[in-house]
Structure 1
Amino acid sequence: MRILVYPHDLTLGGSQINAIDLAAGVAERGHEVIVYGIPGPLVDYIEERGLRFLPAHDLKYRPAPSRIAQIAAISRRERLDLIHAYEWPPCLDSYFGAALALRVPLLCTVLSMQVMPHIPASVPLIMGTADLGEEARKRHRANVWVLEPPIDVERDNPHISGREFRSAHGVGNEEFLIVSVSRLALDLKLDALVRGIDAVDQLASSHPVKLILVGDGPARGALQCRADDVNRRHGREVVALIGADPDPRSAYAAADLVIAMGSSALRALAIGRPLIVQGEQAFSELFDQTSCELFLRQGFYGLADGASGPSRLVAQIAPLIHQPDRRSELGQFGREFVSKRFALHRAVDFQLDVYTSVVKASPAARIGEALRAAGLAASVEIANHNPFQKRRNRNLQKTILSAARSGEWPPSF
């Protein structure tokens, strides 16, 4: 098969790395795979995995007319058998030109934590959790599969050393190191990052703990201000922001405990580290034998009521500080769990079966749903480009960032 893989962007992020790893696995099975997208930090990783890369035109609107035309031209030139898009904007870029006009089979993977109505009902879907797959089947006409984010358990393994990372960042042998590897984003991530800093702030008065945040993004300035306040209060570096790392395996390996969500949580388990899964509104849960089924259903993420502040996370971290045997047991269980359920080779087998099914299926008439999808996308773009909405969004972001900098969290509106 000739396949075009279109991730939603090529910045550093778990879902993008998953898309590239799966594409490389499919290519290793003898298929011709091209990755398409706006050039970003992961282009080097695409080349490292031996994949061909095609740069996309820049984007102003979603779906982007320039990309619709470009993908259609690529489909003709490369004689594509399938386009695999990730999330709704790439899906619609591929749908209006190549799929609708040229009848190129299209598959969409959704790894966000909701089922987006923008995706036409005739486009087959891969969802990232069992709960989301069940929800999608209620409203979607085409096939819906569930494939949890895969992890390359050979590349991410417990034999990776974290000694040099600890030394480079001044972490003593007596210090309990907590690591978070994450985009420092306003959406989805910020709540967990703020609560992680606040939890360590509470623990630092009586325990030799240190939190290192690995990543970058628009919330970095606010998080740095909050970290600086914590460090001044304790007279030592309790929280450090070290920026993005294209290969954070040594950071995971150095950790006594990882706090994370999504693919970052799975990578921590693959490297054999104990894990607390975070989400939003103060959600956190230790990953162990009693909680693993919950995360298989809902993904490595969750929502709480926000009422507990950082106290729930503090209560989950504190016992582990003085329980090295328990941490070792959790790390071993996590490694075995990920190896059996989330290994990349298993996911590649599954995805190839999905590809075969999608390519064999007869395309359905889609004019009506095309108009509906165009209308939904247009409404999003009109709202995004409305000057009043833009001003409101800017003010909302300022409020969120101000709260993240200050002691007030969550923000009050």
Structure 2
Amino acid sequence: MRLLVYPHELSIGGSQINAIDLASAVANAGHDVVVYGVPGPLISYIEERGLRYIPARRLRYRPAPSRIVQLAALASRERIDLIHAYEWPTCLDAYYGAGLFLNVPLLCTVLSMQVMPHVPASVPLIMGTRELGAQARKVHRGRVWVLEPPIDVERDTPFVDGKAFRSRHRVANDEFLVVSVSRLAVDLKLDALVRAIDAADLLAGSYSLKLVLLGDGPAREALTTRASAVNRRHGREVVILPGADLDPRSAYAAADLVLGMGSSALRALSIGRPLIVQGEEAFSEVFEPSTCELFLRQGFYGLAEGAVGARRLAAQVESLIRDPGRRAALAHFGREMVAKRFSLQRAADLQLDIYRQILADPPKRRLSDAMRSARLSLMLEIANHDPFRKREKKLREKSILATVHSGSWPPVLGE
């Protein structure tokens, strides 16, 4: 097969890395794969995996007219058999040119935590959790599969050495190291990151503990301010934010405990670390046999009651600090589970089977689907570029980040 894989962006993130890892595994199975996307930090990761990369034209609008034309030309020139797009904007870039007019089969993977109505009804979907797959089947006419985020269990193993990471960040042998690898974003991530800092603050007076938040993003300055206040309060370096790392395996390996969600949580388990899964609105749960089914159903993420403070998370961390035997058992259980269910090779085999099914029976396109998706995406773009809405969004983010700076949490909005 001649395949074009189109991640929604090439900044550091779980969805993008999943797309590249799967593309590499499919190429290793003997297929011709090209990765297309707007230039970003993950270009080096694409090249490291031995994949051919074609840069996409930059344009903020979704779908992007220049990329629609570029993709159609690419599909024709490269004789592409199938385009695999990740998330709805890239799907529409592929659909309105190569798909609609050149009849190139298209597959869309949606790893966000909701079913987006913008994907044309005839386009086959891959969803990232069983719950989302069930939701998609209720509202989407096209075929729907579930493929959980894959992990390269041959690369992310318990044999990764974390000693250099601990040394680089001055983590003493007797310090309990908690690590979170995450985008420092306002949406989806910020609640978990703030509560991690606050939990470290609650525990630092009783335990020799250090929290490393590895990543970068628009919330970094506010989180650094909050972390600095914690460090001053305890007279030592309790929380540090060293920035992003394209290869964070040593950070996971160095940790005594990992806090995470999504692919980051799975990588921690693959490297053999005990894990607390975080989400939003104060959600946190230890990953263990009693919670495994919950996460297999809803994904490694969750929502809670939005309680004030981080005492729930702090209590969970403390229980693991005090029980090294439990930590070792959880690390072993997590590694076995990921190796069995989330391995990259298993996911690649499933994905190749999906490709074959689509090529054997390509979906029939309807003009009404194209018109509906165009209308929905146009309405969203008009709203996104509405100066009043943009101003409101900026004010909302400013208010949220001000709350991070101030030391209180969660923010009170709309008052």
TM-based fold match above 0.5: yes
CA–CA separation in structure 2 for the residues paired with 1:361 and 1:400: 48
1:306 matched residue in structure 2: 306
Unaligned residue ranges in structure 1 (runs of 5+): none
Structure 2 residue matching 1:291: 3-state secondary structure: helix
Tell me what 2:162 maps to.
162
Do residues 132 (structure 1) and 104 (structure 2) align? no
Residue in structure 2 matched with residue 114 of structure 1 by the alignment: 114
Residue 326 (structure 2) aligns with: 326
Can you list the C-alpha shifts for 1:45-102, whole angstroms capped at 9, x where unaligned? 1011010000000012100000000000001101110000000000010011111111
Question: Matches of 1:74 and 1:164 in 2, distance apart?
Answer: 44
Equivalent residues, number? 413
- Report the 3-state secondary structure (helix = DSSP H, G, I; strand = E; otherwise coil) of the residue aligned with 1:101: coil
Is the counterpart of residue 42 in structure 1 residue 60 in structure 2? no
Q: State yes or no: 1:25 paired with 2:25.
A: yes
Question: Residues of 1 paired with 2:208 and 2:286: CA distance?
Answer: 21
CA contact (8 A) 2:308 2:409 kept: no
Q: Measure, in 2, the Cα distance between the counterparts of 1:155 and 1:236.
A: 35
The TM-score normalised by the length of structure 2 is 0.99
The alpha carbon displacement at 1:322 in A equals 2.2
Asked whether 1:182 is paired with 2:175, we answer no
- Per the alignment, residue 236 of structure 1 pairs with 236
Distance 1:31 1:366 in 2: 30
- Inter-partner Cα distance in structure 2 for 1:308 and 1:60: 37
User: Match of 2:172?
Assistant: 172
State how far apart, in whole Å, the 2-side matches of 1:289 and 1:199 are: 24
| Cα distance in 1 between the residues matched to 2:346 and 2:189 | 29
Matched, 1:123 2:149: no
Q: For residues 15 and 155 of structure 1, what CA distance do their matches in structure 2 show?
A: 18
Using the alignment, how far apart are the partners of 2:157 and 2:363 within structure 1? 42
Q: Following the alignment from structure 2 to structure 1, what is the Cα–Cα distance between the partners of residues 66 and 309? A: 45
User: What letter is aligned with 2:249?
Assistant: R
Structure 1 partner of 2:262 = 262
- The 2-side partners of 1:139 and 1:100 are apart by 22
Contact 2:10 2:43 in 1 (8 A): yes
Q: CA deviation at 1:307?
A: 1.6
CA distance in 2, matches of 1:66, 1:406: 43
Task: Report if the CA contact (8 A) 2:151-2:267 is conserved.
Answer: yes
Output the amino acid matched with 2:25: G
Shift of 1:35: 0.2
Determine if contact 1:131/1:298 at 8 Å carries over to the other structure.
yes
1:86 aligned residue:
86
Match of 2:213 in 1: 213
Equivalent residues of 1:109, 1:125 under 8 A apart: yes
1:244-279: per-residue Cα shift (whole Å, max 9, x none)? 001000000000000000000000000000000000
The one-letter code matched in structure 2 to 1:339 is: A
1:409 deviates by: 1.1
Residue in structure 2 matched with residue 149 of structure 1 by the alignment: 149
How much does 1:365 deviate?
Answer: 3.0
Cα contact 1:103–1:363 (8 A) shared by 2: no
Is 1:278 paired with 2:278? Answer: yes
Moved more, 240-249 or 356-365: 356-365
Which amino acid letter does the alignment assign opposite residue 226 of structure 1?
R
In structure 1, distance between residues paired with 2:305 and 2:369? 37
- 2:63 equivalent in structure 1: 63
For residues 391 and 21 of structure 2, the distance between their equivalents in structure 1, rounded to whole angstroms, comes to: 39
Give the deviation of 1:360 after TM superposition.
Answer: 1.4
Is the partner of 2:101 in helix, strand or coil? Answer: helix
Amino acid at match of 1:143: R
Could you tell me how far 1:156 is from its partner in structure 2?
0.2
- Alignment of 1:359 onto 2:359: yes
Measure, in 2, the Cα distance between the counterparts of 1:30 and 1:164.
37
Which runs of 5 or more structure 2 residues have no equivalent in the other structure? none
| TM-score, normalization by structure 1 | 0.99
Question: Over aligned residue pairs, what C-alpha RMSD do you find?
Answer: 0.7
Where in structure 1 do 4 or more consecutive aligned residues deviate above 6 Å?
Answer: none
CA distance in 2, matches of 1:392, 1:98: 37
**1:100 alignment partner in structure 2:** 100
1:3 is matched with 3
Check conservation: 2:259, 2:275, Cα contact below 8 A.
yes
Q: Does 1:407 align with 2:404?
A: no
Aligned residues of 1:215 and 1:242 also touching (Cα < 8 A)? yes
Q: Which residue of 1 aligns with 2:194?
A: 194
Distance 1:395 1:311 in 2: 29
For each residue in 1:302-335, what CA deviation from the matched residue of structure 2 results, as whole angstroms up to 9, or x when unmatched? 0001125311101111011121111111100000
Where 2:183 maps in the other structure, the secondary structure is coil
Structure 1 residue matching 2:289: 3-state secondary structure: coil
Aligned match of 1:294: 294
Q: Secondary structure at the match of 2:408?
A: coil
How far apart, in 2, do the equivalents of 1:61 and 1:232 lie?
A: 44
Structure 2 counterpart of 1:311, one-letter code: R
Q: Percent identity?
A: 68
Q: Secondary structure at 1:398's aligned position in 2?
A: helix
Q: Which digits, 9 at most, give the CA deviation of each residue in 1:177-214, with x for residues without a partner?
A: 00000000111000100000001100111111110010
Aligned residue runs from structure 1 range 367-378, under 5 A: 367-378=367-378
Rounded Cα–Cα distance in structure 2 between residues aligned with 1:80 and 1:49: 20
Instruction: Specify the code of the residue in structure 1 equivalent to 2:166.
Output: R
